[in-house]
Amino acid sequence: MKTRKMKLLAVAGVALIAVVAGGVIAWLNGSATARHEITTGKVDIRLVEDAWDAGRARNLRPNAVLERDPRVKNVGANDAYVFVTLEMAALPEGTALHSGTGMARSGLDTPLFTTQAGSGLAYDNAHWTLVTRSVRNGRITQVYGYAHNNEMTPLKRNEITPPVFERLRLANAADSAALQGVSTAISVTAYAIQTTELGKQGDAVAPLEVWNIVANYHQSRG
């Protein structure tokens, strides 16, 4: 019995030494935990258009003007780069048009409406840039970026842009039959994206480069 008791103590002693040694090692490799609250950002926008009056968009005559003033408001938490697309029908090819120098004929990419900004008949807007224009299946899409001097302008939280355009002017068709009984939709859509970590270098600011990122993202989502 005495021998058996000594063995138990020996084992207990070895176990005790192991625990103490382990405690020393843990103390030499001590650690601490810090807790940090992290809040993700949010990019969110609202399309604002006060001048639009659907009642005035009926029974239009050639060269008629529609007041439209699409603007974009940043209602998110982060700065954003914003774009607006305008989609509308193209005139039938070969439509006779009145022009400042006489008569002209419409091509495949002649829009049913032209955009106007500023005091004149042209598009004069220091805040927005026409980024790209495409024609597909008789529809024209124009993309405008909130930019200046070929560099996107960050839209800050709660800020609202100036209007993309102020008026839409119906084509001044010499042959009114080309516009008779036409019912068509004009679509205005706004897009936004974060202002940092864009492009291969993470610093994209050129309107076309940033728009391609936006367009590819939406295409990938179907």
pLDDT tens sequence across 84-127? 999 998 888 888 887 766 667 777 788 888 888 876 666 768 89
Q: Please say whether the beta carbons of 68 and 165 come within 8 A.
A: yes
CB burial of residue 153 (10 Å; 0-12, 13-18, 19+): buried
Highest mean pLDDT out of 28-32, 179-183, 201-205? 201-205
Rounded CA separation 176/97 (Å): 10
Element (H, E) at 207: helix 207-220
In this prediction, residues 43-64 reach a mean pLDDT of 86
Domains of the chain: 45-220 (2.60.40)
What is the reported pLDDT for 20?
Answer: 41
Rounded CA separation 189/193 (Å): 14
